[in-house]
Structure formats: structure tokens, C-alpha cells
Amino acid sequence: MHIHILGICGTFMGGIALLARAAGHRVTGCDANVYPPMSTQLESQGITLTEGYAAAQARLAPDLFVIGNAISRGNPLLEEILDRGLPFVSGPQWLADNILHGKWVLAVAGTHGKTTTSSLLAWILEDAGLDPGFLIGGVPGNFGVSARLTDSPFFVIEADEYDTAFCDKRSKFVHYRARTAILNNLEFDHADIFPDLAAIETQFHHFVRTLPRSGLIIANAAEPSLERVLERGCWTPVEWFNSAAGWNLADKGAEGAFAVNLGGGEIGRMRRLPLAGAHNRANALAAVAAARHAGVPPAAALAALERFRGVKRRLELRGVARGVMVYDDFAHHPTAIAATIAGLRQQVGTGRILAVLEPRSNTMKLGVMKAQLPASLQAAELTFCYAANLGWDAHGALAPLGARAAVFEDLSVLVAAVARAARSGDHVLVMSNAGFGGVHDKLLQALSTS
């Protein structure tokens, strides 16, 4: 079958392309911006890419168009598909019908930590010999790819609450028919499509309604929003983590060792988790609990996690210049920003952290979270905010940080300011949910020549 994918260079749709190619389909696709690394990853798999959405692409005459959720009415190719009555389907629906059907799906949902927790879970299953397939919104270091198709019954998926397509405004995860579900956390985000937290809770409850009685929910007891979701009706067993009566962690000596407890009894220990921050320890705990449902003993899961190699764009060290370390992280929501800075602080102790932030997500561009930004950045010594085309007053929003924060609308000026301020031993933490204009390499170059 020939499949043509609209929006193919997005992380999710690019993953679908790789899975479709592995399943034996001929795959082509288009996107508004065809650029590395996704473009090179796809082209290396024999997938032909087209820049833009010209209506003439309908003449490729594929058997099916697969539509990403970034494609809206008014898109020339989409309008041509609709006018001509050509066959199309959303990405999540195609995935459910062609890849996930008949699989034991382990889905990781939540506002934060989906990529890291999915990567941890996939690695635990891999280390246990279960050979899972997966589709993750990042690249786990233990695999080197974001998506993989195997003959295993197990499939790990990052279960996003964002909407499905122009024609289906349900969250993506309702299509996945999960058997094991992690509900990691839940707070307000995606202000471009959800009016409030209650609307997101409704989508999470739609997800819960799809889970079987023979399945398992791993839920974060520290999140009142998740309690509200499950109080609306739940037909699946629930195991809580971050709970004294359920799954919890206990520190055991120095250097990050901890014990994993379940129901008041210790069931395993870990010498060191190679990820910084309390949020990542919670992510690991949820992954261990989910893997147990798939048959992996907790002790084996904990041993696997000591060999976890991290995830690209999650506190990823991009380089060192003039004694200054430059990191890349996907954080873009105030909660994630605060957690990321706290995780780096745990690593660097009293070393200075210079936060370089691009508030680029739809929620941040709308200014919905601007009041929470100063508190989320409080633990950084200096903050450099890139505010080009932001639409709200970043200077005013960051005023509580005083002279510790500066706002820039020119990326080159921001880079020069960071290079001037940084000194040997500093840690420059770049946070954005996009490429940020290649700022990481620009910072390393500026540091090297200053």
C-alpha cells in the first residue's frame, strides 16, 4: 500500500512513517518545513519527502492519505483531498488499526514526563528480553530511534492528550486501546485547544473508559486532578505511586541509592538512577510498576534502569566550551522548567545555572502561564528569555526576577549576552520545545571565540 503522510516531519507522524515503512508499506510525505534530523532519518528509510502542501500532490495517487493534527482546514492539499473524495485517516486512527491492534499496549499519559517514562519503560522491557515495539516523542539513548516495530506482543506508546486531527477533536490516546496505562500527572496545558483543566480531565476520563477490566492503571497519588478523573468512573484496577500505601521510594544512603516499596514492604533497591531530579525518580517508579504488570520483576527492572542512557533533549549535554557546559532540554511549561532546573541543580550543586528560555509552545505563546514563569526560574542564577513574536510582555512577566532576568528579541544579541555573562564552571540550560534557531551550537561557537 502507498501511504502519503501530511505533517510527516513532526515527531509523532515521523514515527508513524517509520512504523508504516517497517510494516512493508511504501511511504511518502510532506511538511511545511522539511529539515534534519527527522528529514534525514526518514530519507534514510527510503521515504520521499515533499516541501509544502501543494494540491498537486494529490496526483501522487496514494492508496491512503494519513493526516497529522497540525493540518487544518484551508490547507491546499487537505482541501483537494476533501473535494475529490480521496481516502484519508488520522494518524492515531491509522496507528490503532494497523499497528496496535492485537498488541498489549502500554500507554504513558500525563502533562509531563511522557517521553522519559516511555523510554524508561521500553528499555526495561527490552532488557528483560520482551523486544517491545514503541512510538516515543523523543529518541531514547538505548535505542537510537523514536519508533520501532517488532513481532513482540508488547508495544509502548507515549499517549498524548493533544487532539487527533482536523476532523477528530478527541485526544490521541483514546484510539490506543491500552492494557497498561500510566497516568503520570495532570495540569493545565494546551491552552490553544482546551479552555480549562476540567476539559483536559474529561479527555483523560474518556481514555480511562477505554481500558479493560483485565488491565492496570498506574496513577500518581500526588495529583488531585487524577483522583478527580478516576472518581468519575473507573472499571480497571488501579495501583497508586507516590503513595505510602502503594508504590513509593525511600532514600538509602548517599549517592542517590533508594529502595522501592509496595504496600509497606521493600521489593527492590537501586544504587543509582542515571537521571537527575525527583521528577525522574517518580517517572522511573511508574515505569517499574507498569513493567511489573507485563511480567518483569521489580528487581530486574531496577537493574535495567542503572543501564539507561537517557533521552535526547532531556538535560542532554550538547557540548563544553571555555569550561562552560551547554545543555538542551524540552521543558516549556513552568512546572517542567522548575523540575528541570531542580534536576540540574542536583547534579551541579553550587555551580551557576544560566537558564536560556524560548516560550514557544502554544500555551506559552498565549501568555496563559506567564505569571508562573518567575517562580519556575527562581533557582537559576540568571535567565535569558527569547521573546521574538511572543505577543505578551515578557519584560513585565519576568520583572519579579529583577536584574537576574533579561529579555531579547534578537537571537544573536541573546547569544552574545550569554557568552559575556558565562564563566568557566557555569551550566547553560537551554529550554524550548523546538529547535530554538540552533542556539545550542551558536552558544558553543560564541563561547569558544569570546
**CATH number for 377:** 3.90.190.20
Neighbours of 348 (CB within 10 A): 16
Which pLDDT value is given to residue 229?
Answer: 97
Total count of domains within the chain: 3
DSSP 317-372: EEEEETTEEEEEE---SHHHHHHHHHHHHHHHTTS-EEEEE---SHHHHTTTTGGG
| pLDDT score of 254 | 66
pLDDT at position 54, please?
97
> Would you state the cell numbers that stand for residue 275, as one nine-digit string?
537521571
The residues, ordered by sequence, that sit 6+ positions from 42 with a Cβ below 8 Å of its Cβ are 8, 9, 14, 17, 18, 29, 49
Contact predicate 261/330, CB 8 Å: no
Q: Are 63 and 107 in the same domain?
A: no
pLDDT at 283 over 90: yes
* Residue 408 and residue 385 in contact, taking contact as beta carbons nearer than 8 Å: yes
Cα–chain-centroid distance for residue 38? Answer: 16
Element (H, E) at 11: helix 11-22
Q: Are residues 333 and 282 in the same domain?
A: no
Specify the pLDDT at position 138. 84
Residue 182 lies in a domain: yes
List, in sequence order, the alpha helices (H) in 128-213.
197-209
Sheet strands side by side (includes 48-51): 48-51, 26-31, 2-6, 64-67, 88-90
Report d(CA 200, CA 67) in Å as an integer.
23
Residue of 227, 233, 246, 229 whose CA lies nearest to 292 = 246
Q: Would you state the pLDDT for residue 415?
A: 93
What is the mean pLDDT of the segment spanning 404-423? 94
Domain that holds residue 53: 2-90
Q: Examine the domain organization and report whether 328 and 428 are in the same domain.
A: yes
143 and 21 in one domain? no
Chain centre distance of CA 179: 21
Contact 284, 304 (CB under 8 A): no
Please give the order of strands across the beta sheet that includes 382-386.
316-321, 324-329, 427-431, 353-357, 382-386, 405-408
The C-alpha cell that represents 12 in the structure block: 509523532
Whether residues 268 and 326 share a domain: the answer is: no
**pTM for the predicted model, two decimal places:** 0.86
pLDDT exceeds cutoff 90 at 363: no
Looking at residue 95, what is its pLDDT?
97
- Residue 210: exposure state from Cβ atoms within 10 A (0-12, 13-18, ≥19): middle
Whether 96 maps to a domain, the answer reads no
Higher pLDDT, 434 or 230: 230
pLDDT of 291 reads: 98
Looking up residue 126, the CATH number of its domain turns out to be: 3.40.1190.10
- Distance in angstroms (rounded) separating the CA atoms of residues 77 and 206: 31
**Same domain assignment for residues 223 and 150:** yes
Beta-strand runs (E) in 40-192: 48-51, 64-67, 88-90, 104-109, 133-135, 147-148, 154-158, 163-165, 168-171, 180-183
Q: Which of 305, 331, 355 is the last residue of a domain?
A: 305
**Looking at 35, 69, 90, which one is the last position of a domain?**
90
Q: CA 335 to CA 252: how far, in whole Å? A: 27
By percentage, how much of the chain surpasses pLDDT 90? 71
Phi, psi torsion values for 260, nearest 5 degrees: -105, 125
pLDDT tens digits for 6-30? 999 988 999 999 999 999 999 999 9
Q: What is the DSSP letter of 264?
A: T
Is 97 part of any domain?
Answer: no
CATH number at 25 reads 3.40.50.720
Phi, psi of 86 (to 5 degrees): -80, 150
User: What is the pLDDT, as a whole number, of residue 309?
Assistant: 87
Decide if 341 is inside a domain: yes
**For residue 392, what pLDDT is reported?**
86
| 74 and 112 both lie in a single domain | no
Residue 370 pLDDT: 86
25-34, 52-61, 359-368, 398-407: which range is least confident on average? 359-368
Phi, psi of 99 (to 5 degrees): -120, -45
Q: Is residue 330 part of a domain?
A: yes
Cα(406)–Cα(401) distance, integer angstroms: 9
| Domain termination residue (choose one: 305, 331, 361) | 305
**Which residue shows C-alpha cell 560564541?**
446
Whether 288 and 359 map to the same domain: the answer is no
Whole-number average pLDDT of the chain: 92
82 and 190 together in one domain: no
Chain-centroid distance, C-alpha 79: 30
- Higher-confidence residue of 244 and 85: namely 85
Distance, in Å, from the CA atom of 3 to the CA atom of 62, rounded to the nearest integer, reads 6
Query: What share of residues in the chain are helix, strand, coil (percent, to 5)?
Result: 35, 25, 40
Q: Is a pLDDT exceeding 90 seen at residue 276?
A: no
What is the per-residue pLDDT across 100-141, written as a single tens digit (0 to 9) for each?
999 999 999 998 889 999 999 999 999 999 999 999 988 898
The verdict on 289 and 392 lying in the same domain is: no
Q: What residues does 163 pair with on adjacent strands?
A: 171
Kindly indicate the confidence band of residue 36, based on its pLDDT and cuts at 50, 70 and 90: low
- What pLDDT does 67 receive? 98
Q: Does any domain span residue 95?
A: no
For residue 298, being part of any structural domain is answered with: yes
Shared domain check, 294 and 391: no
CA distance 442 to 314: 19
Q: In the predicted model, what is the mean pLDDT of residues 406-411?
A: 93
pLDDT band at 200 (very low <50, low <70, confident <90, very high): very high
Q: Which residue has the higher pLDDT, 44 or 209?
A: 209
In a domain, 310, yes or no: no
Residues 354, 408 within the same domain: yes
